[in-house]
Structure 1
Amino acid sequence: MRQSNLVDVAELDTSLRVHIVYATDQNFLRKNLYGGITKAWLRDEVARMVVKANQQLKAKYPFYTLLILDAARPMRVQQQMWKSVVGTKNSIYVSNPARGGGLHNYGAAVDVTILDENGKPLPMGTEYDYFGNEAHIDNEAQLVATGKITAVERTNRLLLRDTMRKAGFRTIRSEWWHFNAFSRAYAVENLPLIH
């Protein structure tokens, strides 16, 4: 990944925690898709945004830290993911590689959550990689009202979003954990794909 001009974000901030889910079988495909890629590789500017977010979080909550679940993703992995969901209701959760993939494929997106003082993820209402409305951020008040997520889980999501947005990240509607550093148009025009 260094050959793609990516940096290991944990080298910039050793308080960050990293557990790359696609380097394990604990993901929606139930297999290791990344092989030996176990570090959080990102474009330098994006990595510095993650560090800024973590520092801002720690300034407010000293015992909390960000946990990175996914970062740069090779296009070959994106193709495997897409193949598994194409033609299903879950295809809305995976970027089509024929259309240039997603921001992960440019090293410009990160999936994160927050760890508490005991190293446990704060409850967010769903597991990471959950395909369903409960993971969406655009109807959280309704999710709380109908008992799909709790008020505490919504508060935790709001903390995560506020932390990441203040560092310059953008959200997407369907995944509480996903944050883009740039627009897709900017990435396609200015950044090389990761193969």
Structure 2
Amino acid sequence: MLKTTLNLLLLTFATVPGIAQSPRSLPAIEQKMVDRGLVDIQKVDPDILVELKYSTTDNFIGRDVYGELTRAYLQPEMARRLAKASALLKKQKPGYQLLVYDAARPNAAQYDLWNALDHLKIPARSKTQYVADPKIGSNHNFGCAIDLTIADEKGIPLDMGTKFDYFGPLAYPRSEQEMLQKGKLTAKQIENRQLLRKVMTQVGFKVNTTEWWHFDGMSKAQARAKYGMIP
């Protein structure tokens, strides 16, 4: 009884206006992002959905790579652009929302993804087609790239023809017309991809030719010079 009473008193004290409250501490991996000036994209635009695939087992490695990192971070200018893309999408398709699968990524995690390709028996000459060499870095490692899709009014991802992280021409924007002619993609699937590309490119993101979900905010050289790598 005494413990319950004390807890109630502490809760009341903590919520009294004007009483200083201790900020909730962030996991170390997120604090690293904040210390480098990156921002939580949902604090910039709460309407953007987030499901970091590398914080789940639903990815090409089949295991959680990020651990305590469950929020999506970007450089502030990238987050602002993403919010503009979100607004464009809502204007064109009310009820639709951007759904983020990956954003800023520590370089340590890049090594995990890179090494996983060996287990998948991806030829060495083809590895950089799917995962950037961690010695050079991905734009994700600078907080200047975003992987995402669109969710409908029910929060269900639109059909883009492949899952996130699909390896092969079916995921390539540059191969869409060929895949359409072969009957491997439908016109509706390509239309969904085009909607995503439209809102993203209108705010300055660039399309990746082999991943429909990946968009870069600037070149890797620019990102390295301006921001440096997230270790």
TM-score, normalization: structure 2?
A: 0.82
CA distance in 2, matches of 1:4, 1:147: 46
Residue 180, structure 1, aligned to residue 216, structure 2: yes
Q: Which has the higher contact order (CA 8 A, sep 6+)?
A: 1
CA distance in 1, matches of 2:162, 2:184: 9
Which residue number in structure 2 is paired with residue 112 of structure 1? Answer: 148
Which residue number in structure 1 is paired with residue 191 of structure 2? Answer: 155
Aligned partner of 2:67 among 13, 22, 35: 35
CA distance in 2, matches of 1:61, 1:158: 13
Which residue number in structure 1 is paired with residue 79 of structure 2? Answer: 47
Aligned partner of 1:140 among 169, 176, 181: 176
CA distance in 2, matches of 1:102, 1:85: 15
Residue 97, structure 1, aligned to residue 129, structure 2: no
Query: Could you list the per-position Cα deviations for residues 7-39 of structure 1 after superposition, in whole angstroms to 9, with x for gaps in the alignment?
Result: 000011111100000001111001100011001
**Letter paired with 2:80:** R
Aligned partner of 2:202 among 153, 163, 166: 166
Structure 1: segments with no counterpart, 5+ residues? none
CA distance in 2, matches of 1:184, 1:101: 8
Find the residue that maps to 1:168 and give its secondary structure.
coil
Find the residue that maps to 1:34 and give its secondary structure.
coil
Aligned partner of 2:159 among 98, 116, 123: 123
How far apart are residue 68 of structure 1 and its match? Answer: 0.5
Which residue number in structure 2 is paired with residue 62 of structure 1? Answer: 94
Query: Could you list the per-position Cα deviations for residues 31-69 of structure 1 after superposition, in whole angstroms to 9, with x for gaps in the alignment?
Result: 100011001100000000110000000011111010000
CA distance in 2, matches of 1:57, 1:66: 8
Find the residue that maps to 1:176 and give its secondary structure.
strand
Q: Which has the larger radius of gyration?
A: 2
**Letter paired with 2:218:** F
How far apart are residue 85 of structure 1 and its match? Answer: 1.5
CA distance in 2, matches of 1:38, 1:188: 24
Structure 2: segments with no counterpart, 5+ residues? 1-32
Query: Could you list the per-position Cα deviations for residues 157-181 of structure 1 after superposition, in whole angstroms to 9, with x for gaps in the alignment?
Result: 0110011000110011110000000
The number of equivalent residue pairs is 194
Which residue number in structure 1 is paired with residue 21 of structure 2? Answer: none
How far apart are residue 139 of structure 1 and its match? Answer: 1.5
**Letter paired with 2:81:** M
Residue identity over aligned pairs, in percent, reads: 41
Runs (4+) off by over 3 Å: none
**Letter paired with 2:192:** N
CA distance in 1, matches of 2:210, 2:175: 10
